[in-house]
Amino acid sequence: MVLINTTSGTPLNTRVANALGAKDSSVRLQAALAVGSNPDPGLLETLLERCAVEPDFFARDMLSWALTRFSPRITLPRIRQELDSERAQARSQALHTLGKIGDKGAWAWITRDMLRDADDEVARTAWRVAVALVPEGEKKALADELVVQLGRGDRSVQLSLSRALVDLGDVIEPALEKAAANPDPAVAAHARATELLLRDPETGFNAAIDEARRVIALGPERAAAAAAAAAAGVAEPSEVAEPSKAACVAAIGEPTETTESTGAVDAVEAVDC
């Protein structure tokens, strides 16, 4: 068992605090549940300390839930301090907890640095929470900021960003149109894939990315002609034939094998974490 300091010296709080650092993750989860079921301000610091180091997703999410059970008057100022922590997980979990609390006044605390954080999990959480808290009049500015991150990371990171952008609605269209013309093929493909998701949210992200890359490799007119020919059930004419492998590689880079299926990514993204 890992002992955790607590600001309250009562035997009960000491036991709960120590349980939050137990070796067994199920014990830690139950301890967080117990704190949230009977919130004691004396355990606030203990919860925040544990948020920064808890390795188990479910226990970590229960810690955030427990924090939402305290009065926002005491939790929000401390969570705001955690946003500036040197520990990436502390920043990410503080943002996540802000999203769960849902106080719109916290929108002003989400800075450009957070949206561009070098740690992918911090940035992903900041994108999601920013979209949840942004005032209507700030959506366009947020969209302009988020498109700067297009092309970042692996497909799971890119899916997080696309979903955040899509959740902003039609306001993202001008920014995406501009990004789709970016000379960086990764940025352009990500922008086009996000446009596809905006038009049809049921489109799988992997399929959207693959279609976007195909359009970039062929060019919009040739891609449209090829799609029309395929829909008509006829062979593609030579003038719209698929480009050579060398041309595709030049445009989008060598394809990489991924074990990530659309369903698996969607399942992960669907979890409110």
Q: For 246-258, what is each residue's pLDDT tens digit? A: 433 333 344 433 3
Q: Which residue has the higher pLDDT, 270 or 76?
A: 76
d(CA 148, CA 140): 13
pTM > 0.85: yes or no:
no
The tens digit of pLDDT for each residue in 105-141 reads 999 999 999 999 999 999 999 999 999 999 999 999 9
Q: Which residue has the higher pLDDT, 53 or 10?
A: 53
C-alpha dist (Å) from residue 80 to 104, 139, 189: 13, 22, 36
What's the pLDDT tens digit per position in 184-239? 989 999 999 999 889 887 766 666 666 666 766 655 555 445 545 545 554 444 43
Task: Please give the DSSP secondary-structure letter assigned to residue 266.
Answer: H
Closest CA to 155 of 268, 67, 46, 71: 268
Q: Which two tokens stand for residue 51?
A: 């948020």
